[in-house]
Structures are given as structure tokens and as C-alpha cells.
Chain A
Amino acid sequence: EPEVTQTPSHQVTQMGQEVILRCVPISNHLYFYWYRQILGQKVEFLVSFYNNEISEKSEIFDDQFSVERPDGSNFTLKIRSTKLEDSAMYFCASSDDVGQGVGGYTFGSGTRLTVV
């Protein structure tokens, strides 16, 4: 079954540093997303991306965040100047044009970001 892959699995960074989280969505999917999950809390939507532009973003996704699809396979989330409260699990997801059913909306295994 096709997978969404994320790297690295764990990233430790110092406060104020820039981080880039990487994702390879499922190849025939058209919509790409980033979510985050603070330890013990629910999964929260950050941003959706379609046709090479942001289609929707949440209040969490402020000017410190950016996304990019630099080539035909990768989808990245950049945090310019990390804060302690950015520590969380970050999930990439992708969906096809229907976005439903098994494999229609798929999550990666996540990158655990720890800001120290």
C-alpha cells in the first residue's frame, strides 16, 4: 500500500533556529497537508496545499511557517525561528481528488520536533 514518508523521524533544534521538515506524499495525490500534535493533545490542522499554492491555513500557521513543493515529489514545512512551543509531532498527509476511503487521505508517521 502506498505510504506518505517523512524525514527525519526526530529533530532536535535550538530555539531560534530554522528547521525544515520533509515529506514525500503519495505520488498520484493532489492535495498536501501539514498537521501538528502537541504531546497528549489532538491533531491540529496547519495548512493545505494544492496546485502549487496554499489553499487554506490555520491560525497556528503564522509568518514563521512556510511550505514548499520544490520538485515533483517532496513537500516541506519550514519553521524560520523555532520557539519552545513549536515542540510537537508534525504529520504530513496527502489526499487524492476525492480524499475519501482507504488510501484517499493518508498520514505519514510524523516528525517529532523538540525545541530546546
Chain B
Amino acid sequence: QVQLQQWGAGLLKPSETLSLNCAVYGGSLSDYSWTWIRQSPGKGLEWIGEIDHRGSTNIKPSLKHRVSISLDTSKNQFSLRLSSLTAADTAVYYCARLVTGTRDLDVWGPGTTVTVSS
């Protein structure tokens, strides 16, 4: 059974860069895409972007100038970087697996609470 474990700094200051990692256990990065989603009380669930097993990314246009998503196949993990943080980026961040074809999110990480505050 595939599980996702995620980690990264939870308290950051405005203008700093968020770095989150998500490791895939019990399965391979191949044949799926890997997604980042965030959830805040104000904006609900928001898709940030995804990366496929070949390393091609698709990022939400409104975040594209601040977001990068990468893959490390040697470690079986993928990562999110979000730069120029503001308070509006405060949210719970989830990594999730996107099934090719049906495009549903069938496995989720537990979430990382990120707070941006001076």
C-alpha cells in the first residue's frame, strides 16, 4: 500500500521560501503524476501543481512565477518550493498522487501546516 510522508519548515517569515518534500513509500514514482495542494480557511482546497514521472510540470498560472516542483527518482520523492511568501500562503500543504487516465487523487500525505508570520 502506497504511503506518502511529507516534511518541511512550518513557520516562515514573509519573503522567505517554503521548501517541502514528499517521499513515496511502497510504490514507484513511475506511471503517476505527483501533486501539491494547499488548504486554507479563506481559499479552501487549492491545486498548486503537479509533476509527472518524466519530470514535466504543470503549475497553476497564478503561482507559476513563485513555484517550482521537482522530482528525485533516486530518493523516490518530490518537492515543492514556493518563494516570496506572504501571509496569504499560510495553509496546510498536502502532497498527493494523481492517477494517470482518471486523474483522481487517490493517495494523500498527512499534510504540513505552514504559517507565514513576521
Specify whether A and B are partners: no
Residues of A that sit less than 8 Å from B by CB: none
